[in-house]
Amino acid sequence: MTMEEMKNEAETTSMVSMTLYAVMYPVFNEVKSFSSLAGSEVRSLFGQAEKENPGLTQDIIMKILEKKKVEVNFTESLLRMAADDVEEYMIDRSEQEFQDLNDKARALKHILSKIPDEINDRVRFLQTIKDIASAIKELLDTVNTVFRKYQYQNRRALEHQKKEFVKYSKSFSDTLKTYFKDGKAINVFVSANRLIHQTNLILQTFKTVA
Partner 1 sequence: MEEDVKKVKKPGIVSPFKRVFLKGEKGRDKKAQEKTTERRALHTFSLSLPDHRIDPDILLNDYIEKEVKYLGQLTSVPGYLNPSSRTEVLQLIDNARKSHQLAGQLTSEQDAVVSLSAYNVKLVWRDGEDIILRVPIHDIAAVSYIRDDSLHLVVLKTAQEAGVSPCPSTCPDLSKSMTLGSLSESGAVLVEVCCLLVLAVDNKAAAEELCLLLSQVFQIVYTESTIDFLDRAIFDGATTPTRHLSLYSDDSSSKVDVKEAFEAEASTFSFQGSLEAGDNSPSPSSTPASPQTKTASEGELSTTATELLQDYMTTLRTKLSSHEIQQFATLLHEYRNGASIHEFCINLRQLYGDSRKFLLLGLRPFIPEKDSQHFENFLETIGVKDGRGIITDSFGRYRRTASSASDSTTNGNGAVRGDGDVGGSDERLAPSEGDEWDRMISDISNDIEALGVSMDQEGVTP
- Give me the residues that bind partner 1 (CB under 8 A), please: 2-3, 96-97, 100, 122, 126, 129-134, 136-142, 144-145, 147-148, 151-156, 159-160, 162-163, 166-167, 169-171, 173-174, 176-177, 180-181
Residue 127 and residue 143: Cα distance in Å, rounded? Answer: 24
Residue 194 and residue 75: Cα distance in Å, rounded? Answer: 11
| Least spacing, CB of residue 199 vs partner 1, in Å | 13
| Least spacing, CB of residue 208 vs partner 1, in Å | 16
Handedness of CA 30, 32, 38, 44 (dihedral sign): positive
In this complex, which beta carbon is closest to partner 1, that of residue 44 or of residue 96?
96
In this complex, which beta carbon is closest to partner 1, that of residue 41 or of residue 138?
138
| Least spacing, CB of residue 114 vs partner 1, in Å | 16
| Least spacing, CB of residue 146 vs partner 1, in Å | 9
- CB 139 within 8 Å of CB 112: no
In this complex, which beta carbon is closest to partner 1, that of residue 53 or of residue 127?
127
Outline where 53-184 has alpha helix (H). 56-67, 74-81, 96-113, 115-118, 122-149, 155-182
In this complex, which beta carbon is closest to partner 1, that of residue 68 or of residue 148?
148
Handedness of CA 147, 153, 159, 165 (dihedral sign): negative
